[in-house]
Amino acid sequence: MTIRDSVHNNGRRNGQSVDIPTRTWRILGASFFLLGLVNNVLYVIILSAALDLVSSVPKGLVLFCNIAPSLAAKIGWPYLLKGQVRYTRRIIGCCTLSFTGMLVIATFDSLAARLLGICLASFSC
């Protein structure tokens, strides 16, 4: 029985309780902690560097570009995809978007490109 089966069946198999090993819970906990930490680091870095990234526009624009795509993804994803994308593909997609967004921010000097990079990095969260 996989973890997915035990979660969907409320930890029961044919009416019996299924024990998930402690090691599996530790690995899952560490994985979620590290992914959440990386997710939060991007947000904090972009907001902390807002003054250096765009010096001529209101900082609220950087805040909007950092929050709006992430909020749209968190609101829309469950209704649009309905669990059709596997976690492996989600993680690869999020890492690719984060990396591409940070690369665009670091590489280009134009305001539009940097705001696009901020949106890409935010959308991955």
CA nearest neighbour of 111 among 40, 69, 52 = 52
How do residues 5-27 score in pLDDT, each as one tens digit? 545 555 555 556 667 788 888 99
Tens of pLDDT, residue by residue over 43-102, are 888 888 877 888 788 888 888 988 899 889 889 888 887 777 777 888 888 889 889 998
Secondary structure E strands in the chain: 12-13, 16-17
C-alpha to C-alpha distance for 15 and 92, rounded to whole angstroms: 36
Tell if the pTM clears 0.85, that is, is over it: no
Q: Is the pLDDT reported for residue 30 higher than 80?
A: yes
pLDDT at 94: 84
